[in-house]
Structure 1
Amino acid sequence: MTPRVPRRLELDPVTVRRARTLARRAGKPVVDLARAHTTVSVERATLRMAGLTGADHENVPWVNHLVDAVREQVGLEHGVTTPIWDALISGAAPDLLTLAQKASSGGVTFRLPEKAHRTRARRAARTAVGRGIRTIDKQRATRERLITRHGDPKQKPWIYLIVATGDIREDIPQAQEAAREGADIIAVIRSTGQSLLDFVPEGETHEGYAGTYATQENFRLMRAALDESSKELGRYIRLTNYASGLCMPEIATLAGLERLDMMLNDSMYGILFRDINPIRTFVDQRFSRQVHARAGIIINTGEDNYLTTADAVEAAHTVTVSQLLNEYFAKEAGLQDWQLGLGHAFEIDPSIPDSFRLELAHALLARQLFPEAPLKWMPPTKHMTGDVFRGHLLDGFFNLAGAMTGQGILLVGMMTEAVVTPWLSDRDLALQNVRYVLNAAGGLTEDFHPPRDGFIQTRARQVLDEAVALLDEIATGSGGADTAYPQPLLAAIADGTFGAMKRPPTKGKGLDGVARKADDYDNPAIDLLETVDPPRSAAGRRREEGATR
């Protein structure tokens, strides 16, 4: 995805290796914690793979009703699929939907079957869930075929633009027009507050606040529209949405079933900025990333958000730490380098002397630490004042930094940021800004080599050293955080290390939806995602393996 970037920072390779070793040491106890637990959303996502859709007259999804009934009768800790398919085999209902409908009114009794009954139920559940995973595999193959047919954008970085009207039928023509004007990726931002809903709305939606609800039908409609645009324009247009919040596993599953190409999926965003329980988040994000790995979806992480609540210079090293942790968690879940859209942002106060040189140092550090990853470079928001002329200039500097440092995914900045939801004309001007800078200066990535011991080299080394020091504190529990937690990373999050937000693992939304797995826990989705590799075409394999070349 990104051009081959020459090594322009003289970073100590021993320091870089130590940073990754410490990230692994800090992250592994959290992975062990995630492996030992399940959540209501993981179980609901598994049922969605088995084909359960729809909602009751109050728009409560049937997957919620069915998981809640099983949880009430036999608990969540065994997994829901064994008692559900035992009930189906026993004749409680002819199909999954009818079973959910009956369970919602208390018309089904669930049990934990034993011996042969348990074996039959688990075999049937694996078959049903396997059909959903095969659908995800087919959608991945369809993406590969369409990219081969239509082609990828010729210029890097890919241009990423947000559409957010609240009405999917208004989003579609705006997204198609944005693609005609040069956008390579369309992100349909979610309605404000959806991340806090413990259910996924059903069907096509026409109202949302500062965004459009993420639903399976909305995914399907937008993907179909962008397929039309891909055919019209002769390049494959990618679609992005958000797999975060209390329904992260379910939305990731729906994205795989409907062939989305990228998903916002950060390991700590929901904890820090939505006060979602840390344990719930880490369990859900591991499952969701396993789905993304299977579906060939590129994740976008959310380090840019830290710089909206913390100073972009003083907290620069926390962004690097989060990137390293996100890399570890992602690869442990099966994602490959070409799927790691690690986030960072152009958020230094422009009134600070040498602010642009600092931005270049931070961007170049990220680029060199993760040379095979399609980094997602985020535009200025915190210091946009409402002066549209100043904002347009600041966006131009952001675009120039992206061109000079070889970023992979460039989110289009809007001059009306902090004023209004952008109009189509605002997007037009913003896209013109991006096109001008990339056409005029796109090749600077080959020519830009900061002096050996100059300002940029020195700043980049400083940030890396500070990141290593912080990782060492986290991994060893020596940073003064509450050491009562057996997972030092959870202690660091509780202590406000990231984004100046203190989030203890005993609090936060969604904790009541977490359960420790019993010895007989079974989930065929996890088994299939961990043991069976996705089928890939030769062309798709070559494209992925050479994504950064």
Structure 2
Amino acid sequence: MTRAVKKLDLDPVTVRKARSLARKAGRPIVNLARQHTTVSVERAVLRLAGLTGADTEGIPWVNRLADTVRADVGLEHGLALPVWDALLRGEAEDLAVLAQKAASGSVTFRMPEGRDAVRARTAARKVAAAGLKRIDGRRRERDRLIKRHGDPEQRPWIYLIVATGDIYEDIPQAQAAAREGADIIAVIRSTGQSLLDYVPEGATREGFAGTYATQENFRLMRAALDDSSRELGRYVRLTNYASGLCMPEIATLAGLERLDMMLNDSMYGILFRDINPIRTFVDQRFSRQIHARAGIIINTGEDNYLTTADAVEAAHTVTVSQLLNEYFAKEAGLEDWQLGLGHAFEINPDLPDSFRLELAHAMLARQLFPNAPLKWMPPTRHMTGDVFRGYLLDGFFNLVGAMTGQGILLVGMMTEAVVTPWISDRDLALQNVRYVLGAAGNLHEDFRPEPNGFIATRARQVLGESVELLERIVDDGLLNAIGDGTFGLMRRPQDAGRGLDGVARKSPEYYNPAIELLEEGTR
């Protein structure tokens, strides 16, 4: 996947400085994440332990159990010790029964001490280790299937969205897209799911502008794409969204059901869903630790900044976010090949030299992150409804992808404003991609801009502006920068936003067996 060719005359000292500043800006956030937990991080431990199902009102048992433990002893200690202490005391024979008793008010939780605490810790660690072992098994299964069926021969991988709202309608559409050449199927989530503080259960048939992310929906689509992989003789990847208030839980479910990629941006939920910044950073660190263990590629969301801010004026904020996402991801254990850092083709096409500017930004990202499978996003903001103009713009977008060696190319639709386009539109969009990649797919090997020409000069300018912004962020603090509207023009203060009440500062007695095992790297 590497496209490590130095075609821009970037000052290596400036590049090193940018990364150093990103580390300095990100380190206090990592420390903050280490000091706190959230309800979703704790519920993820219960899911890793195998607790599934929901009550008659559709509220998952993990939520019912977590809420009761929190009411009895608080969240700051974690859920593991009080939950496994209750099991060892004989309050219930398993987690499912314990959750049902907790919901009915027939069990009281305590923080164990002394030998009871040691026993609870040992029992919780054993169960969490078994859950991680299941994730390890799914990762090995992916490796075997890729070896058996093979990877797509051509890069970038072609990424296509399916989102009808009905998982049983998504499946045949996804399989049809794979037959037409899609390498990655993304099942976009139902609008608003990121704001639910629970993960729905079971297969779902009603979603708005997307399909609910549930463990059963993950299982069904993964099985269907495995059938397509056998049919087509190439491994077809599956993507969903680990974001929002249940980010750690969805990441865990993705690992258990062998998803291959997950949307997982460090700031998207803060900026575009008004989720509390501390909640988001705590959740994203745990979710990325799970992704690292599961061998999942993350896709970050820098393209979204350019839907609210000008793509030329704000180009440096995309680069800064990429550098921060890289730091946070690697700190959590992700490797270069798992970093699907995002950027987009969103410059106003009426602007003189717009194509050259797009080339400059795409080449800058490619050279800054030579070993990452960058995710190149199609035009959306300036799609007017003129399908002929839109089809041409998508062709130019595909051409930039070919000229700059992108890793993941999200297929642009000429009917971009239609959330669920006609299958014929998808077919035309895939024809566009196939033509451009077939005709110019290796153009990146030959294309080199003039060292002091427009493209190279613009790339150096954006990098310089990125360093200046990172210097301000280091001085002011990343949380303050987010609060001031630095990214995407959204002002999100650290003491506000959805989900803040689900954050707790860890006590000295805090214990989370999943975090312990993930940080040990135990397999």
TM-score interval for Structure 1 and Structure 2 normalised by the shorter chain? over 0.9
Q: Which amino acid aligns with 2:236?
A: I
Q: Structure 1 residue 518 and structure 2 residue 517: aligned? A: no
The residue that corresponds to 2:428 in the other structure is 429
**What does residue 224 of structure 1 align with?**
223
Task: Indicate the RMSD between aligned Cα atoms, in angstroms.
Answer: 0.6
After the TM superposition, which residues 302-451 of structure 1 pair with which residues of structure 2 at under 5 Å, given as runs? 302-419=301-418, 421-451=420-450
Deviations 1:149-169 (A, max 9, x none): 000000000000000000000
For structure 2, which runs of at least 5 residues remain unmatched after alignment?
none
Q: Distance in 2 between matches of 1:452 and 1:91?
A: 72
- For the residue of structure 1 that corresponds to 2:245, the secondary structure is coil
What are the Cα deviations for residues 110-168 of structure 1, in whole angstroms up to 9, with x where unaligned? 11111110000110011111111000000000000000000000000000000000000
Per the alignment, residue 136 of structure 1 pairs with 135
Contact 1:5 1:446 in 2 (8 A): no
Instruction: Give the aligned length.
Output: 523
Structure 1 Cα separation of the partners of residues 195 and 176 of structure 2: 31
Deviation, structure 1 residue 362:
0.1
Structure 1 partner of 2:517:
528
Q: Deviations over 1:339-388 (max 9, x none)?
A: 00000000000000000000000000000000000000000000000111
Counterpart-to-counterpart distance in 2, 1:5 and 1:467: 21
Q: CA deviation at 1:48?
A: 0.2
Deviation at 1:420, TM superposition (A): 5.4
> Aligned to 1:246, what secondary structure does the other structure show?
helix
Partner of 1:119: 118
Taking the aligned partners of 1:419 and 1:94, their CA distance within structure 2 comes to 50
Does structure 2 retain, via aligned residues, the 8 Å contact 1:294–1:533?
A: no
Distance 1:300 1:225 in 2: 22
Give the share of equivalent positions with the same residue, in percent. Answer: 79
8 A contact 1:161–1:183 mirrored in 2: yes
Residues 316 and 466 in structure 2, CA contact (< 8 A), matched pair in contact too: yes
Q: Distance in 2 between matches of 1:283 and 1:196?
A: 16
Partners of 2:429 and 2:522 in 1: CA distance: 41
Alpha-carbon shift at residue 5 of structure 1 (Å): 3.8
Which of 490, 493, 498 aligns to 2:482? It is 493
Q: Aligned partners of 1:331, 1:161: CA distance in 2, in Å?
A: 27
Q: Distance in 2 between matches of 1:81 and 1:468?
A: 43
TM norm structure 2: 0.99
SS in 1 for 2:409: strand
CA distance in 2, matches of 1:183, 1:476: 44
Matched, 1:243 2:242: yes
Whole-Å separation in 2 of the counterparts to 1:420 and 1:79: 40
CA distance in 2, matches of 1:533, 1:243: 23
Query: Which consecutive residues of structure 1, in runs of 5 or more, have no partner in the other structure?
Result: 478-487, 535-549
Hey, what does 2:50 align to over in structure 1?
51
> What residue is the counterpart of 1:545 in the other structure?
none
**Residues in 1 aligned to 2:430 and 2:480: alpha-carbon distance in whole angstroms:** 43
Letter in 2 for 1:490: L
Q: 1:381, 1:295 → 2: CA distance?
A: 32
Per-residue displacement from partner, 1:299-355 (whole Å, max 9, x unpaired)? 000000000000000000000000000000000000000000000000000000000
8 Å CA contact retained: 2:199, 2:250: yes
Quick one: distance in 2 between partners of 1:43 and 1:452? Answer: 52
4+ residue segments displaced more than 6 Å: none
In 1: Cα distance, 2:442 partner to 2:376 partner: 17
Distance in 1, Cα, partners of 2:317 & 2:4? 24
The structural deviation recorded for 1:441 is 0.4
State whether structure 2 residue 464 is matched by structure 1 residue 465.
yes
CA distance in 2, matches of 1:137, 1:449: 42
Q: CA deviation at 1:421?
A: 2.3
> Residues 5, 438 of structure 1: CA spacing in aligned structure 2 closer, same or farther, 3 A cutoff?
farther
Name the residue aligned to 1:172. 171
- AA aligned opposite 1:500: L
Amino acid of the residue matched to residue 87 of structure 1? A
Q: Is contact 2:364–2:459 with CA below 8 Å preserved after alignment?
A: yes
Aligned residue identity for 2:509 = D
CA distance in 2, matches of 1:105, 1:388: 57
Indicate whether 1:31 and 2:30 are aligned.
yes
Q: Secondary structure at the match of 2:54?
A: coil
**TM-score, L = length of structure 1:** 0.95
Report the alpha carbon displacement of residue 423 of structure 1 after superposing the two structures with TM. 1.1
Deviation of 1:228 after TM superposition, in Å, equals: 0.3
Q: Is the 8 A contact 2:73 2:110 kept in 1?
A: yes
